[in-house]
Chain A
Amino acid sequence: MSLPVRITVLLVAFVAVAVGAAFIVVHYLLASPPTVTYNASGGVVNLMLQEDPQNDSSSKPDWVSYFVQDPNTKQWVHTTLFSVPKATTVHVTILGYDGCTPPRNNFWSLVQGTIGGTVNLSIVNNKGVATPTRRVSVINGWAGCTVGHTFAIPALHLFVPVASPNAYDSANNLCGVSPCTSGPHAVESFSFRVPDHAGVYRWQCYVPCGGGFIDGNGGPMQTIGYMTGNMEVRA
């Protein structure tokens, strides 16, 4: 093989490796779900979340996932990153479309860290009929088909079990297209105080809900954009 050919082959190989490495870095390592920005009105932020039994991604469509609603467009964004201003009160509403999975540790059935230590809860069945809203401090995930996931910000000692549709609906009528707009679901709301300084606070689900993974701890449990993410507190 002549020298020019060898040099050409070497250069082509080098470029191929460089392009491949750049693709991996950009596509996998630097890729991040978008951050939804919430602003306060009168010191209050209204945060809307939903958790679904599946998601709208092409690569992992069967992973359970949270979605965050864009406060401006009201569109659901497939992300678990959101930002709020510091020193505000966040009113959270979670639409729980996913079915029940008992918490591995039933301690997470206790509502902790919300204002008043309670959540407001209503269950909407497959016919769209909602139960009256109840204020509860415990949702016993081991008493039956009651809890789907949790929403927790450990650094703020905020631990909230998120209710699921009832057993029949969990087994038969779950929403099948994400983001969910219809189907049986829980409507759960609560409030918590945001620290008065900027920072990034991870949040996560404490129900190991990665179906098909060892003890349910893999997949969506370990991936930002699905069942865990960050709350950025802005200065």
Chain B
Amino acid sequence: MATPEAPAARAPADRNHGLWIFLIWLPLAVVADLLIWFVWKPHLPPGTMSSSAEHQQFDIAVMAVVAAPVLLFVWVYAGYALVNWRHRAGDDGDGPPIHGNTKIQATWIAATAVIVLGLFVFGTVELIVPAGAGAGEGPAPIWQPNTSHRLEVQVIGQQWAFTYRWPQFGGMETSELVLPNNTTVEFHVTSLDVIHSFWAYQLGVKADANPGVDNVAYTTTKEPGTFTVRCNELCGLWHGAMFNYGHVVSAAAFQSWATHWEAVQRSKGLLGMLPPYRLTYDPTVIPQLGASIVKIDGITGGAGYYYPPQDPVTP
């Protein structure tokens, strides 16, 4: 005689699922956010070597804190659904009819709208307050630091190196980037040839280096240390090798370094050989050469032209 199967256990219909999901999600979200803020944030890139880096670290942490509960809610809901509403042996009945729930829909729309609009406002404030957040703002920056004491550094990209000019130190040029601590730096980024991108990683500064363009970026150094400078725009054969290291040092050490190099370059006559400091350069003309330069292989031309207009003829 056949024994009838025992009726399959069904998920309790009278349980307040919303409350259960909330009670599971809440502690997880709180723990995740606490871990993000107190454990993960101090190690988040790009670090705290400058004001822009600090703000970027803060921004990433805030977005992680906002995103983690959303992600956890999706996971908790999915897990809860798998456990409670999965198909069970012997349960061949239809599922309950689905009805719209105005309260849930309104809550969902309101919550996501608050998150998105909040992040929009937050992102805008975080772009404005740290004076452009370390990004290139073009030649006429809208957001500037509220201090007039700025160290001006011109970053010149060329295949394949960055060099740096220092208008407050006689217009000297160096292949090394050394910055004083606790100082607001005004970078003027440009290029002499193709498109490069100046990325001082631990400083949280990134600005495109375009020929003929002065791209301004700001930051304020906060900690001494070493940072990496990389080109972040594919610029030719040695793009991958176009990096070096910069240093944030004490104000006294910087002053000593800068005045030493200014004196060296002055004594060697280099300061007089460099073009006058300008925000951009036109390397196709070298006025110093005048008409004396001879034309060789189509590279150099008369009247100081460096690659005359008819060149290149056959790239």
Q: Which residues of A does B touch, CB under 8 Å?
A: 53, 62, 64, 99-102, 104-107, 109-110, 112, 137-138, 140, 142-145, 152, 154-155, 157, 159, 167, 170-171, 202, 204, 206, 208-209, 211-218, 221-224, 228
Contacts and interface: CB of A to CB of B under 8 A. Distances in A.
Given A101-B299, A215-B194, 10 more contacts: A99-B297, A100-B294, A107-B163, A110-B270, A152-B161, A167-B294, A208-B193, A215-B307, A217-B193, A221-B159
B161 A208 contact: no
A209 B299 contact: yes
Contacts of B193: 104, 208, 215, 217
A217 B159 contact: yes
B108 to A, nearest CB: 54
A154 B162 CA distance: 10
Nearest to B292: A144
B173 to A, nearest CB: 4
A223 B237 CA distance: 8
A15 B269 CA distance: 64
Contact of A154 (B161, B173, B270, B296): B161
B238 A142 contact: no
B175 A112 contact: yes
A6 to B, nearest CB: 44
A109 B270 CA distance: 8
Contact of A138 (B175, B270, B289): B270
A159 to B, nearest CB: 7
8 contacts: A104-B192, A104-B283, A106-B273, A107-B274, A143-B273, A206-B161, A215-B193, A221-B159
Interface of B: 156, 158-161, 163, 173, 175-176, 192-194, 236-238, 241, 244, 265, 268-270, 273-275, 283-284, 286, 288-289, 292-300, 306-307, 311-315
B299 A216 contact: yes
A212 B298 contact: yes
Nearest to A171: B294
A138 B268 CA distance: 7
Given A209-B299, A215-B193, A228-B238, A145 B315 contact: no
A235 B155 CA distance: 36
A212 B307 CA distance: 9
Contacts of B236: 217, 221-222
Contacts of A112: 175
Contacts of A155: 241, 244
Contact of B306 (A99, A104, A145, A152): A104
A81 B289 CA distance: 34
A230 B122 CA distance: 48
A217 B299 CA distance: 11
A145 B294 CA distance: 8
Nearest to A109: B273
B268 A157 contact: no
B265 A110 contact: yes
A212 B296 contact: no
B289 A142 contact: yes
Contacts of B163: 105, 107
A202 to B, nearest CB: 5
B175 A157 contact: yes
A221 B273 CA distance: 25
Nearest to B156: A105
Contact of B297 (A53, A167, A215, A221): A53
A187 B67 CA distance: 65
Nearest to A137: B268
Contact of B159 (A102, A208, A224): A208
A228 to B, nearest CB: 7
A202 B313 CA distance: 30
Contacts of A104: 158, 192-193, 283, 306
Contacts of A211: 297-299, 311
B313 A212 contact: yes
Nearest to A138: B268
A142 B286 contact: yes
Given A100-B294, A216-B307, A105 B273 contact: no
